[in-house]
Amino acid sequence: MGAFNNPILPGFNPDPSVVRVDEDFFCVTSSFKYFPGAPIYHSKDLIKWRLIGHALTRKSQLDIRTPEPGGGVWATTIRHHEGVFYIITNSFDRYRPQVDDRVWPRGFYVKTTNIWDDSTWSDPVYFDQVGFDFDLFWDDDGTVYLSSTYRKVDRDPQSKLKDFAIHVSTVDLETGTLTSMPKMIRESSSGVAEGSHIFKLNGYYYLFTAEGGTESGHCEYVSRSRESPFGPWEMAPHNPLWRNTTSDEVQNTGHCDIVDDTHGQWWALCLGVRPRREGNDWRTSVFGRESMLLPVRWQDDWPVFNDGKPVTLHMNGPRAYEVDEDKAWCDDFTGDKLGLGWYRKSKTALSF
């Protein structure tokens, strides 16, 4: 058993999603209203990461016109299937409620067979579905399932309660057209169920969901089904999978993606924040939401995250090690293009 330090991706790297392809790990995080969008990181061991590019680099892929605080590209997911990388997301131009109504974006994906070359990512294929936190899952028979978050259809139009729930449907991946009616498969007593990821292992379908909102109530749940991604779903007896509180050095943790390494060990990436303590009070961190790593083991066909203990800045895990490297970054401006790591903030359009 070794040790490692969190965050593994520091400084504004929320909503991590991860895949392993042979011995390489690839992670994408949310970029919100910054451009280029969907930063992609590479690692050989899940601990030391390097920025290798972005999936959204052209106006034909991403053209944010009126971004508001919290808008832009949310909760990107990365998947790999039959030699093709997919990055799935959405982009909110407008986000703030107007008379309790939201302007929902359509989800979309871009794809490539060469993740090392930014220019190879396709133009978007839009889904016939609005919402956010989109995820793709390929079943053994080739059926593709799309899960996403949006409001419950059967709701009181006068209600001010958040009622974001997980819906799933089958989808024609070439066109983005739904091939079945969406079905709500998870709602939360907190009013927020989002960040869905569907996996299949040992004959079970697993549904991971981020619940409670992304502030102090943030946590992660898991359900499983023997039948299909449409359910019925059985909730894990140890939900939530862990809980970080406002007394912990890492807070607001959740929104997980899981992956196994080449030794059969499972891991989860989640987001968290590192508030700064001043006396008895916590102050908001300028780093925002960052990406954390935690070990996962399986017991009775249920995943156990970090033995149910809170995520910390210093963690233990199999074959882990502590990275000791210079965090400084610079660009010598010797090339025709800016180096990786530069972003610009999308401008709000003016109206007269």
Q: Residue 283 in contact with residue 343, Cβ under 8 Å?
A: no
| Residue showing tokens 């969901």 | 209
Q: What residues are annotated to the active site?
A: 15, 194
What is each CA distance from 170 to 84, 137, 139, in whole angstroms?
19, 9, 10
Query: What do you get for the CA distance between the two ends of the chain, in Å?
Result: 62
Residues in the chain: 352
Phi (first) and psi of residue 274, to 5 degrees? -115, 85
Using CA atoms, how far apart are residues 227 and 225, in angstroms rounded to an integer?
A: 6
| Residue showing tokens 């749940």 | 221
Using CA atoms, how far apart are residues 44 and 219, in angstroms rounded to an integer?
A: 28
Half-sphere exposure of 70 (CA within 13 A, CB side): 6
Nearest to 305 by CA among 293, 315, 296: 296
Which structure tokens are listed for 194? 């989002």
Dihedral sign (CA 16, 65, 96, 33): positive
